[in-house]
Amino acid sequence: MLNQENLQKVDTLLKKYPEKKAALLPILWIAQEQEGWISQEMMKYVGDLVGVPYSHVMGVVTFYTMYNDKKLGKYHIEVCTNVSCLLRGSDKILSTVEKVCGTKLGSTSPDGKFTISEVECMGACGGAPMLAIGENYHEHLTPATTEQLLTSLK
Ligand code: FES
């Protein structure tokens, strides 16, 4: 299921850890980078690679918000709604995101472009309220700048 290039990365990683299972998180990250998400089949496959049961891998994937167990839209919009962002109006940012993307929190827009998720603090409280699109942070947002940002992706 992992391509040859990624299997080589896994080989390199496994040499760095005293036990295979300790490499579970970075291998899941490699799998997600390859596929865009982590399917049940991939969870079983990665579990076999590191010698842990599927249930353990699923527990890890569903615990950490950085892993996706569902296919995402082209743009994954992660809106922080934790304390600092909430106090600075993340509720208005989230409702703007839903309006502009044409879908609700936890869903993907009908055109497959946007998936909206709510996340805990992303360590950018100084720029609250903020959201991330993929690996890019967008901070000091207002409903107007949020609308502008998302409209530019349409
Ligand atoms: S509370 Fe939103 S980045 Fe910290």
Residue 83 CA, closest ligand 1 atom number: 1
Segments of the chain scoring below 70 in pLDDT = none
Cα-to-centroid distance, 10 and ligand 1 (Å): 32
Among left, alpha and beta (phi > 0; psi -120 to 50; other), residue 25 is: alpha
Going by C-alpha positions, the residue among 128, 99, 131, 127 that lies closest to residue 118 is 131
What's the pLDDT score for residue 56? 97
User: What does the alpha-carbon distance between residue 154 and residue 146 come to, in Å, rounded to a whole number?
Assistant: 13
Handedness of CA 25, 28, 34, 36 (dihedral sign): negative
What's the pLDDT score for residue 113? 96
pTM summary value: 0.81
Which tokens go with 67? 């892993």
What's the pLDDT score for residue 25? 98
Of 84, 87, 94, 119, which is best to mutate to test ligand 1, by the most ligand atoms within 8 angstroms of its C-beta? 84
Question: With contact defined as beta carbons under 8 Å apart, do 82 and 121 qualify?
Answer: yes
Question: With contact defined as beta carbons under 8 Å apart, do 91 and 81 qualify?
Answer: yes
What's the pLDDT score for residue 147? 98
With H, G, I as helix, E, B as strand and everything else as coil, classify residue 120: coil
Which tokens go with 97? 């995101």
User: What does the alpha-carbon distance between residue 32 and residue 5 come to, in Å, rounded to a whole number?
Assistant: 14
Residue 121 CA, closest ligand 1 atom number: 4
- List Cβ neighbours of 81 (8 Å cut-off, separation of 6 or more): 90, 91, 94, 118, 119
Which tokens go with 5? 């290039």
